[in-house]
């Protein structure tokens, strides 16, 4: 091995070790960012309680050994079918409210506004409201909420 080969190998080994160190530091600082979220399907309501048309708020409680979550979602029913929206604003996570007169979701924190499809129409939110997965089985409506497993 001549001096040039040695130097190439040394540089490769150095950058490999540096990459591993950076990944370790990032995973130590931001462990939840790297950890994958799992979708848990929870019972929400009977199918007969769904809105015939329009948007309605449904509350739910999710419990497991580690946590209890008391929250809500918005269900939208129209000619396109059913959609479930997360109530968390995509700007900084405040809860949005449905305004049935303006036909908009409104976030009071910084003036974010979303249309009936959850798309941003005003304010700082960078993305539409999150649509949650759902399932209807035997007349029961289940929604998928994402949590760190
Ligand atoms: S958190 Fe909703 S607009 Fe800022």
Asked if 24 and 92 sit in the same domain, the reply is no
Does the CB atom of residue 113 touch ligand 1 within 6 A? Answer: no
What ligand 1 atom has the least distance to the C-alpha of 124? 3
pLDDT of residue 43: 95
Q: What is the pLDDT of residues 11-54, one digit of tens each?
A: 888 888 888 888 888 777 766 556 678 889 999 999 999 989 99
Asked if 28 and 76 sit in the same domain, the reply is no
Residue to substitute in 97, 110, 129 for testing ligand 1 pocket (most ligand atoms within 8 angstroms of CB): 110
Asked if 139 and 121 sit in the same domain, the reply is yes
Of all protein residues, the one whose alpha carbon is nearest to atom 1 of ligand 1 is 92
**Separation CA 92–CA 52 (nearest Å):** 32
**Separation CA 86–CA 53 (nearest Å):** 18
Asked if 118 and 79 sit in the same domain, the reply is yes
Does the CB atom of residue 144 touch ligand 1 within 6 A? Answer: no
**Separation CA 114–CA 102 (nearest Å):** 11
Does the CB atom of residue 89 touch ligand 1 within 6 A? Answer: yes
Residue 114: closest CA among 141, 83, 144: 83
pLDDT of residue 125: 97
Give the count of domains, the chain. 2
Asked if 102 and 79 sit in the same domain, the reply is yes
Asked if 28 and 41 sit in the same domain, the reply is no
Asked if 22 and 61 sit in the same domain, the reply is no
CA of 31 to the centre of ligand 1 (A): 25
Asked if 73 and 28 sit in the same domain, the reply is no
pLDDT of residue 6: 83
- How far, in Å, are 5, 53, 73, 92, 136 from residue 128 at the CA level? 53, 21, 15, 13, 24
pLDDT of residue 149: 65
**Separation CA 22–CA 50 (nearest Å):** 49
Tell me the two tokens of residue 27: 């995973």
In order along its 149 residues, the chain shows pLDDT tens digits of 778 888 888 888 888 888 888 888 877 776 655 667 888 999 999 999 998 999 999 999 998 888 898 999 999 999 999 999 999 999 999 999 999 999 999 999 999 999 999 999 999 999 999 999 999 999 999 999 988 76
Residue span of the structural domain in which 138 resides = 37-148
Does the CB atom of residue 124 touch ligand 1 within 6 A? Answer: yes
Asked if 11 and 49 sit in the same domain, the reply is no
């Amino acid at each position: 091995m001549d001096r040039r080969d040695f130097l190439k190998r040394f540089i490769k080994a150095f950058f490999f070790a540096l990459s591993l160190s950076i990944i370790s530091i990032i995973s130590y600082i931001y462990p939840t960012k790297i950890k994958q979220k799992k979708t848990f399907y929870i019972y929400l309501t009977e199918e007969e309680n769904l809105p015939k048309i329009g948007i309605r708020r449904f509350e739910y409680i999710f419990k497991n050994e580690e946590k209890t979550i008391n929250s809500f979602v918005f269900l939208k029913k129209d000619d396109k079918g059913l959609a479930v929206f997360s109530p968390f604003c995509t700007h900084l996570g405040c809860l949005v409210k449905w305004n049935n007169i303006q036909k908009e979701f409104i976030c009071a924190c910084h003036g974010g506004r979303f249309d009936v499809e959850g798309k941003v129409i005003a304010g700082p939110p960078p993305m539409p409201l999150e649509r949650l997965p759902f399932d209807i089985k035997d007349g029961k409506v289940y929604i998928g909420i994402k949590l760190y497993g």
